[in-house]
Structure 1
Amino acid sequence: MEDMSIAYLQAICAKNGYELSDTKHDNDCVDYTINCGGYPIDDAECVWRSPKLEVQLKSSFSSVTILENGDVQYDIPARNYNYLVDTHRFTPYILVLLVMHRDEELWLEQNIDGLKITKCAYWISLKGQEPTENKNSIRIVIPGANVLTPNALKKIMVTISKQQEL
């Protein structure tokens, strides 16, 4: 499952020309850093060149529920959650969750027309939420509109470049 989430994130980054770097050590629960070379768009409001984004990458089918309104309910490990809510981070930090089919045979579709990772990934910034004292996990809700697409990632990088909160 983990390899599928990495492939998904690599494809999204590649489409935008962003560099995806994995961390050698799981410090601060950061799995990957996304680097945008130059400005993400040609806009005078973009202040920072080469914005960076840190990512905690997860994939699941068992800890996920799609709610009636399309939002995604996920039970995240408490340790990861507490790193994600920290307000004293220099680099913006998000959770990316690839929602998977229960049936492994449905994870990937391939034919003469292309290769497709089924389902999709969602993202959320939990910065500023209350830390948890839970020992195992905490349930979060990711807005269904937060599908991680190439365009969504570009908007995130623009937001960072403009020195705005995610």
Structure 2
Amino acid sequence: MVSHVRATLPCRSAASVPTLSGSVTVKQRLKSRGSCRASRVITSRTPDLHGGLGYACRSVTGGGHVGELETWQQEQISLAYLSAVATRAGATSAQWNVDKDGVDVTLKRDHIQVEFQMKCSFSPTVLADGETYAFDLDIRTYDHLRHRNRSAAGFLGLVVVPRDLNDWLVHDDEALLMRCAGYYARIQNLPAVTTETTTRIHLPKKHRIDSAGLDKVFEYAFDRLFAPQSREGGQ
């Protein structure tokens, strides 16, 4: 479930769920502070960003504006989310313009660095326990992130967003709210796998990308460099 930064906004009620053949979901936004408009979410079977389990969708508002939900937007919101959380946690962030080593972002705090490959999904796979997301990571990226010779520990990040692009950000005179939530999994030092294309990574919901979560990430990175025997089996 996508978490909210602040209390849920008024006037959001979905009427139906898309089927495998694609459908039109009509949202009737109830009157709030004297304004009301209808919005359609048109879905198709275009794969979700890197996850393969979602739908591409576009939102058509009452004013006729069409906002396409495209892979570059999913990529950008995941990077913006990590940057915002890292700033709050006292870490600096730098993005790589070439994904050569399976890394999108490097975070640095107190001279310790960690690296993330960021993914985004509006329809993530949830395991039977209801408390764990699953993501099929390509083998090339997996092998880069787990490599034992890395100087900065490698992690996978998954940001879960609403299906409707118009619901991602809400801004008013007082705040800019991001209606999404991020989760992480350590890939560093995991074993090699025998599959040829992807391997399934589990991201427990308790592994939130927030200030407390980044504290644990940096703690692991520190101990890996300076006390390698202390956390070798942890995650």
| Interval containing the TM-score (normalised by the shorter chain) | 0.7 to 0.9
Structure 2, unpaired ranges of 5+: 1-73
State the secondary structure of the residue aligned to 2:219.
Answer: helix
1:152 paired to 2:225: no
Change (3 A) 1:161 1:134: closer
Which residue in 1 is equivalent to 2:100? 27
1:103 paired to 2:164: yes
* Contact 2:145 2:153 (8 Å CA) reproduced: no
Structure 1, unpaired ranges of 5+: 39-49
State the secondary structure of the residue aligned to 1:95.
Answer: strand
Deviation at 1:61, TM superposition (A): 2.4
Between the aligned residues of both structures, percent identity stands at 25
Which residue in 2 is equivalent to 1:42? none
- CA distance in 1 between counterparts of 2:164 and 2:180 reads 12
- CA distance in 1 between counterparts of 2:220 and 2:191 reads 23
Which residue in 1 is equivalent to 2:126? 66
Deviation at 1:20, TM superposition (A): 0.4
Deviation at 1:113, TM superposition (A): 4.0
Normalised by the size of structure 1, how large is the TM-score? 0.80
1:93 paired to 2:154: yes
Q: Partner letter of residue 101 of structure 1?
A: P
1:81 paired to 2:142: yes
Which residue in 1 is equivalent to 2:84? 11
- CA distance in 2 between counterparts of 1:151 and 1:92 reads 17
Deviation at 1:12, TM superposition (A): 0.9
State the secondary structure of the residue aligned to 2:101.
Answer: helix
Larger proportion of helix: 1
State the secondary structure of the residue aligned to 1:25.
Answer: coil
* Contact 2:125 2:135 (8 Å CA) reproduced: yes
1:127 paired to 2:188: yes
Q: Which entry has the higher C-alpha Rg, 1 or 2?
A: 2
- CA distance in 2 between counterparts of 1:154 and 1:83 reads 23
How many equivalent pairs are there?
Answer: 153
Deviation at 1:148, TM superposition (A): 0.5
